[in-house]
Structure 1
Amino acid sequence: MSTAWAGIPILAWTQASGAQVFLVHSPAIPMVDVQIDFDAGARRDPADKPGLANLTASATAYGVLPSADAPALDENALSDAWADLGASFGGSASADRMTFSLRSLTEPDVLQRAVALAARQLGQPAFPEGPWLRDRPKLIAARKEANTRAATVAARAFAQAVYSGHPYGLETTDESLQRISVADLRALHASALAPCAAKVSIVGDLNRAQADALVQTLLARLPARRCAALAPVAEVAPLPAAVEQRIPFASAQAHVLVGQPGFKRNSGDFFALTVGNHILGGGGFGSRLTEEVREKRGLTYSVYSFFAPGLHAGAFTIGLQTRPDQAQQALDLVRDVLQRFVTEGPTEAELQAAKANLIGGFPLRLDSNRKLLDNVANIAWNGLPLDYLDTWTAQVDKLTTADVRNALARTLQPQKMVTVVLGAP
């Protein structure tokens, strides 16, 4: 067992099953939040069935199978059981991971029953066909409605161009939803979920022994097996050249997106790029893009930039909306601001202002158990040091303008970016 004993001590250990557990004891309120992550996110969806991971995780709420000590529960009975406990449990999938989350009071009787119910939903979901056949048309209808929105169409075109065939860019479609069956949901659940594959993050009023027992119960109904190494997923390829798409769309506002593959979450440039992006477009009214595009020229109400790092290089994105007749002017200005920032880096005044803002706001990243759990799960999933939260402000504070400039130059290529302009003449 290893421990980071500082402002936020994180206990970490591996159970005999292979499950990795990360615990922060937070006794302020009698509650516990638990997050269970598996390497079964959308990046591992079959190419012809994107959306399978998320559907599998969410479909565990359709009901649970009977067991020796409890009868089967359909989706209504399962929902009522959670309501009676005043607790919650559910699943979803992001690009990298399939996630299940539990929240419960730590009063012993309530917690015991909540963990037992969560173990059934996690390990013995029924995956009945009826609810899936009922919900699939609803999902297709929701997709059709979303496709009438300019922002959806622009974002899809941007993602497909940036990721260029990588699973990060795959999109759930009407056709892929029609291809996914209950058998697919059951097969993915059986193959991807096991105690040895779980990373469990816990924040709440539990000590180590209590947390260890909770995890053992929570994972007890999953198949006990050894986990083989998963097949590697290809990296996101750098863009060989600039890509520009002009998409006609009847919209009062033109949507402009500019970007490229960014960096992986384990990159040593993470802090420098976080600060650099804060100065460029992530810092709201204090950012360069807002100053140049909104304040000086009034071309948009809002302009922003962000990185989305993951196990692979997530997208770097600059986005804005503007009047269609101003779209080209706004785009030219964004490109100019970006090019100058990558070439020159931030000024010393910009760097100090960004540091003060980020360091001053750091406590707000940890001011609830849910936010703290998000950070602990981030540490667990990405293999970050256990003292990551204790050294975060020091990592930001030690950066120089050269550090930020060099990280930007290593990562961003303004001459090789995707540009999507939707709704402009």
Structure 2
Amino acid sequence: MTRPRSAAIARPLPAPLPHRLSLLFVASMIALFLTVANARAVDIQPFETPAGLSVWLVEDHTVPIIAVDFAFSGGSAQDPDGKEGLTNLLSATLDEGAGDLTSRAFQERMQDLAIKIGFDAGRDAFYGSLRTLTPNAEDAFEMLRLAVTEPRFDADAVERMRSQIVAGLRRQEKDPDAIAARTFARTVFPDHPYGRPANGTEETVSALTPADLKAQHQRLFAQSSLKIAVVGAIDAATLGPLLDRVFAALPAEPDLTPVAEITPRTEIEEAVTLDVPQTAIRIGLPGLKRDDPDFIPAYVMNHILGGGSFSSWLYDEVREKRGLAYSVGSYLVPYDHAGMLIAATGTRADRAGETLQIIGEQMGRMATQGPTEEELAKAKSFLTGSYALRFDTSGKIANQLLGIRMEKLGLDYIDKRNSLIEAVTLEDIKRVAKRLLGSASPTIVTVGPKQPS
């Protein structure tokens, strides 16, 4: 269970820490990656803070580390028209100075405390995280409070982060994969927030102001849409007041613009001419939202088709047998208001047509024939056996818990997830494959050199 990530923002390197703190930080991060090394049951404690915030906690005193993941409803789909990229810029500037601390002072303070605070803008939610040593919890949660409730949005810090985002957008103007992704979204979701560029354009981002950031911050950050997951060496009685200090002063309700339900457009072919050696390819069909009863069978089906990396049909047919691409795969995209199944690859421009044909054949094969019993058994074995790897660090567990909360899968999902996978039958696979792959022609977007007529 992963969540969408905004573009990484490079920051100037701070001055080196004192040697003792550097060693402590390194040792702590090593310990973080060793947490919960053996697969075991995750004991989730749901509770409410004194102020009424809902929290899922996994108490683990193996190492003195606390991992906090949280999210507010409303991501880049809440960007106003003409201000695309606003929520992404918000995620890049919240920790660029807060309260009485300038950007540099804030970053230096985090380094001194050996803590990490981060923010990301997804399509439907705004995410945040905190990683800290337990002895530094009081100070770390205070730093998080400042970033969440008192961001400064100083003009110089905003300009620095905006310039970095704009520079990245300019590089993407010559990147066939980035162009394909933007063109694809615009094509399948016309006149809809999902079709607009989440990171914005050079023009929209350049025009954003600190006042825009303050307004978006006030619209999105509210208690009623907040979900929190915490893993680490802390108990509920200690954690509750710390979380209240961070979040309880926020408004009760967000000011969100309703996002319409939408079915992705199909049977469209869009070719963008770009003078590059390879052609980027995106192929898409309507998929499923996460609460659809067929989602788990579709997840298993897609693993066999293109989600299983080295074991998938697409990898075998496109890369292994023909050497047409280095990377090829398919994936399900369950947004809050739409679902998609997307296949993607990049190949030599003169073999783009052949590659498209092979991907289409494999989709058709799945829709009409489906996998064998052996292929289904291998897929289920991998998906159930690898699930424990999502819980081998405190941070991963917090991320999984937050995803389960955001997708409303229930407190017992971790315990029953593998049994849901095991229950999938060949008949289920064939039914969902026909539903997703056999009902319409896909939308196809290519970006590369112009092909001969």
The answer, yes or no, to whether TM exceeds 0.5 is yes
Q: Secondary structure at the match of 1:138?
A: helix
Summarize the Cα distance change of 1:64–1:228 in structure 2 as closer, same or farther, 3 Å threshold.
closer
**Alignment counterpart, residue 247 of structure 2, candidates 219, 222, 245:** 219
User: AA paired with 1:356?
Assistant: S
Give RMSD over aligned pairs: 1.9
Q: How does 1:113-132 map to 2 (within 5 A)?
A: 113-132=139-158
**Aligned partners of 2:228 and 2:123: how far apart in 1?**
18
Instruction: Name the counterpart of 1:52.
Output: 86
Instruction: Name the counterpart of 2:67.
Output: 33
Summarize the Cα distance change of 1:162–1:260 in structure 2 as closer, same or farther, 3 Å threshold.
farther
Q: Say if 2:301 is the partner of 1:267.
A: no
**Aligned partners of 1:414 and 1:257: how far apart in 2?**
18
Contact persistence 1:30–1:205 (CA under 8 A): yes
Q: Say if 2:434 is the partner of 1:409.
A: yes
**Aligned partners of 2:182 and 2:121: how far apart in 1?**
18
Runs of 4+ in structure 1 over 6 Å off: none
**Aligned partners of 1:372 and 1:324: how far apart in 2?**
42
- Which consecutive residues of structure 2, in runs of 5 or more, have no partner in the other structure? 1-39
Instruction: Name the counterpart of 2:411.
Output: 386
**Aligned partners of 1:28 and 1:273: how far apart in 2?**
37
Instruction: Name the counterpart of 2:345.
Output: 320
Give how far 1:91 is off: 1.8
Q: Say if 2:385 is the partner of 1:351.
A: no
Q: How does 1:131-210 map to 2 (within 5 A)?
A: 131-171=157-197, 172-210=200-238
**Alignment counterpart, residue 372 of structure 1, candidates 397, 405, 409:** 397
Residues 164-209 of structure 1 show CA distances to partners (whole Å, capped at 9, x for unaligned) of 2321221101221133211111112123213333211101112221
**Aligned partners of 2:242 and 2:118: how far apart in 1?**
17
Give how far 1:226 is off: 3.2
User: AA paired with 1:9?
Assistant: D
Q: Secondary structure at the match of 2:224?
A: helix
Give how far 1:134 is off: 3.7
- Which consecutive residues of structure 1, in runs of 5 or more, have no partner in the other structure? 1-5, 66-71
Give how far 1:409 is off: 2.5
**Aligned partners of 2:205 and 2:290: how far apart in 1?**
30
Q: Secondary structure at the match of 1:327?
A: helix
Contact persistence 2:73–2:126 (CA under 8 A): yes
User: AA paired with 1:30?
Assistant: P
Give how far 1:400 is off: 0.1
**Aligned partners of 2:319 and 2:334: how far apart in 1?**
27
**Aligned partners of 1:137 and 1:322: how far apart in 2?**
32
Q: Secondary structure at the match of 1:196?
A: coil
Normalising by structure 2, we get a TM-score of 0.86
User: AA paired with 1:267?
Assistant: D
Give how far 1:51 is off: 1.4
Normalising by structure 1, we get a TM-score of 0.91
Contact persistence 2:176–2:274 (CA under 8 A): yes
Give how far 1:391 is off: 0.9
Per mean C-alpha deviation after superposition, the further-off stretch among 411-420 and 137-146 is: 411-420
